[in-house]
Structure 1
């Protein structure tokens, strides 16, 4: 029954939270309108009193002149116009941050496979599901087949073999060529198992207490959120999640899965 699906509950929760936010904002706006209306009437009352005092003073001293009468008529007409509240107040619709966060339903199914390697220091096996380094140490660039430009995508990777000294997982722009030292490319974004994150080809030491780990038998979940220009990595064993915001000037769409093997016999497999 689709009505009992957990995602249906998430949608219902979002609906309730959105209604509460809208009702709260409406109450705040009504209160603000009442306050501004009160202030507005107070100002009009003072202006009317000042005008009345001027008329009284002119009558007592018999000092009316045509200019005074003209000015008083203008003042009275202005007061008449300002009595209408909508002549001075407007409802402003902010085009910036929305009151209610927009949500959508995205498919995160993935048919990713490894498609290209930089050189023969790595080989692709199992119809593209696995990539294996030779028994020599050296960097090599590996790319996935799929292209990511919209939506949110999930890739599940199994670390079949790694000494946890240097392995990179992340993204790279399709337009950038395969290369040996691909971690230094400006379009490289992701994480390496020596506890560094990489943004536009620059290494940044991990500041969290939890390490970035990619050990043998670990399962790593990569999320490519194109709509929000973010990527994330979660190690299921440690349950630690890391996030990066991607600068499209450095790493333009479409993105591709980017793996850099370095350790001898390191082996990564795509699970889903």
Structure 2
């Protein structure tokens, strides 16, 4: 029996390019068969790919060489440079704002001193024209003039606010005027200590009033108070009053409202003590689900309309710093707690509470003490401010 010839003949492999002619060469790299004509063509393709790879290699090597010659042309470096310029612009704008604020603060301070000086000159002229003065008058006027000179030279302070993030690059800058005000006049069981900086309540629980020395008729002003000592929460109020109103009327008003509130509480199941607040015409107890409601309208008298106040809510504690801001131009007062960042504001009807204004504080509980804060930051001139800006710019750049 003869063997199958067909089975012994090797099956022909066609060219992978033309798929017609027999493949005479198998490429080890791609594993494909090529005919005589397409073997050379396949080799040429490999040569072109090698040339392209060599070109890419050379281009990449050139890119590295260029970056080594010009490292600052890297996109990330350019991003940093852009950030640097934007930061510098912001610092310069902040510096300009700070300079303007400083100039405005100095101008306002001078205006206050000039107004006080004008009043003093009026007193002197009247007394001289009427030949109505003695040694004590001269001593008092001399002391007033010396105090005005001290006020004019009072330092202007720059506070560098610290961010909660210790890694912050640039500190925020604030311009604040030093408070030259002090406690001067009292009514009730309260006394003034420490050269007018401290108001100390006596041993009784009753409303007492203390007011400031300065008169404010224009511009913006701030007085910062520290609660030096308190035994109970509540019983403190800050506000403003027209020039020289009878403090007895303010004390009497708060005492009457306190008595009315105690009577109301005795008839109410609510036990929470509500704080007093006021608008131009009336003092009210807040009405809410947490408070007993009581409304006592102000008597329609000129005395009671000559003061406006903001109470301290119950979210304060000993050693808190409170800031009373008086805006004579906008007829507004603001009270804020530096620890809690809570604040309230009141609009003042100057037709009823006429300018100039003085600040006042009422204290109820025994042994409570309120202090006018003294600024402890150093004196800073315009030149020192410019030096600080240059330091900040250098820090940013390097």
- Give the TM-score category using the shorter length: 0.5 to 0.7
Query: Cα–Cα, structure 1 residues 205 and 222, in superposed 2: closer, same or farther, change >3 Å?
Result: same
From 1, 5, 8, give the equivalent of 2:96: 8
1:241 corresponding residue in structure 2? 343
Could you say if the C-alpha distance between residues 243 and 180 of structure 1 is closer, same or farther in structure 2, counting changes exceeding 3 Å? same
1:168 paired with 2:248, answer no
Aligned length: 170
Within 5 Å, which residues of 2 pair with 1:225-240? Answer: 225-240=327-342
- TM-score (normalised: structure 1): 0.55
Cα 1:255/1:7, change in 2 over 3 Å: farther
Give the structure, 1 or 2, with the largest relative contact order (CA under 8 Å, sep 6 or more). 1
Tell me, in whole angstroms, the C-alpha distance in 2 between the residues paired with 1:197 and 1:260.
13
Q: Secondary structure at the match of 1:164?
A: coil
Partner of residue 111, structure 1? 180
Q: Which residue of 1 aligns with 2:200?
A: 132
Residue in structure 2 matched with residue 177 of structure 1 by the alignment: 246
Q: State the Cα distance separating 1:200 from its structure 2 match.
A: 3.6
How far residue 10 of structure 1 moved from its aligned partner, in angstroms, is 7.5
State the partner residue of 1:197. Answer: 277
Q: Give the drift of 1:269.
A: 0.1
1:74-115: per-residue Cα shift (whole Å, max 9, x none)? xxxxxxxxxxxxxxxxxxxxxxxxxxxxxxxx9733201000
Q: 8 Å contact 2:274–2:286 — kept in the other structure? A: no
Distance 1:201 1:122 in 2: 27
Q: Label 1:112 to 1:11 Cα distance change in 2 as closer, same or farther (>3 A).
A: closer
Checking the alignment, whether the CA contact within 8 Å between 1:107 and 1:152 is kept in structure 2 is no
Aligned to 2:360: 258
- Show the 5 A alignment for 1:31-180: 108-119=177-188, 121-162=189-230, 163-179=232-248
- C-alpha spacing 1:265/1:201, structure 2 compared with 1 (3 Å): farther
- CA-based RMSD of the aligned residues comes to 3.2
Pair 1:236–1:254, CA change in 2 (3 A) = same
**Following TM superposition, by how much is the alpha carbon of 1:268 offset from its aligned partner in structure 2, in angstroms?**
0.2
Distance in 2, matches of 1:127 and 1:5, equals 40
CA separation in 2, counterparts of 1:117 and 1:266? 15
In the TM superposition, structure 1's runs of 4+ consecutive aligned residues that sit over 4 Å from their partners are 9-12, 205-212
Q: State the secondary structure of the residue aligned to 1:135.
A: coil
SS at match of 2:248: coil
Deviations 1:148-194 (A, max 9, x none): 11000011100112212211111111141111643739xxxxxxx94
SS at 2:365's partner residue?
coil
Structure 2's unaligned 5+ residue stretches are 1-90, 101-174, 255-272, 291-311, 375-398
Partners of 2:356 and 2:235 lie apart in 1 by 26
The structure with the largest alpha-carbon Rg is 2
Paired residue secondary structure (2:226):
strand
2:96 is paired with a residue whose SS is helix
Matched with 1:90 is none
Q: Which has the higher helix share?
A: 2
SS of residue paired to 2:345: strand
SS at match of 1:179: helix
| Contact kept in structure 1, 2:223 and 2:372, CA below 8 Å | yes
Q: Which runs of 5+ in 1 are unaligned?
A: 13-105, 186-192
TM-superposed deviation, 1:238: 1.0
Alignment check: 8 A CA contact 1:160 1:268 kept:
yes
